[in-house]
Chain A
Amino acid sequence: GQQVMQIPQYQHVQEGEDFTTYCNSSTTLSNIQWYKQRPGGHPVFLIQLVKSGEVKKQKRLTFQFGEAKKNSSLHITATQTTDVGTYFCAGPAGGSQGNLIFGKGTKLSVKP
């Protein structure tokens, strides 16, 4: 079945270092969404990418959607302790009405 894979599973960085998580889908996606889940919290929507090759920025976060619409990345510049959490990518299941298939997430820890 359709799969969404993410690497790395864990990332430990020193505050101020950059961080990148990568997402790959086994199928072409109509769009990809990114969510952040703080420890003990619930997934919170960050962004949706729709167009092939799309790049979007939110302050220190840069999101990319691959040309083939099968991969995506999230890059955080100069991490802060507030960036701690698990970052999930999610894509709609093929032919679905919107139910999302989530990657396993990348858990980011930031050492002050």
Chain B
Amino acid sequence: EPEVTQTPSHQVTQMGQEVILRCVPISNHLYFYWYRQILGQKVEFLVSFYNNEISEKSEIFDDQFSVERPDGSNFTLKIRSTKLEDSAMYFCASSERDRIAYNEQFFGPGTRLTVL
């Protein structure tokens, strides 16, 4: 069964450093998302991406964040200058969305980001 993959599974970084989290969405999906989940809390939407551009972004997704689809398969989230409060699990998700209804989102296993 096709699945979303993410690398690395765990990233430890120093405050102020840049990190890039990588995702490979399911190949025939059209919509891509990044969510984060601070330990023990709910899943929070960061950004959605369609047709090679950002569709929507949340208040969390400030100028320190950027996303890119550098080739036909990868989807990346970059945090330019990490802060302690960026420590969280970051989930990538993808969906095959039609015009009529929202379709299920398939989540990757996540990258645990720890900022020291």
Contacts and interface: CB of A to CB of B under 8 A. Distances in A.
Contact of A103 (B42, B45, B103, B107): B42
B82 interface: no
Among A35, A44, A88, A97, chain B packs the most CB atoms within 10 A around the CB of: A97
A88 B31 CA distance: 21
A31 B56 contact: no
B44 A98 contact: no
B102 A104 contact: no
Given A30-B102, A42-B91, A92-B102, A100 B45 contact: yes
Contacts of A100: 35, 43, 45, 105
B102 A42 contact: no
Among A31, A43, A44, A105, chain B packs the most CB atoms within 10 A around the CB of: A43
Interface size class of A (residues with CB under 8 A): 20 to 34
Given A42-B109, A44-B107, A99 B101 contact: no
Given A97-B55, A97-B56, A48 B104 contact: yes
Contacts of B106: 45
A64 interface: no
A17 to B, nearest CB: 25
Nearest to A29: B102
Contacts of A30: 101-102
A42 B58 CA distance: 21
Given A33-B104, A88-B42, A98 B97 contact: yes
Interface in B77-116: 91, 95, 97, 101-110
Interface of A: 30-31, 33, 35, 41-45, 48, 50, 88, 90, 92-93, 96-105
- Lowest 4 A-B CB distances belong to which pairs? A45-B104, A102-B43, A97-B55, A99-B45
23 contacts: A30-B101, A31-B102, A41-B109, A42-B91, A42-B107, A43-B107, A44-B107, A45-B104, A48-B101, A48-B102, A88-B42, A90-B43, A97-B97, A98-B33, A98-B48, A98-B103, A99-B45, A99-B47, A100-B35, A101-B45, A102-B44, A102-B45, A105-B42
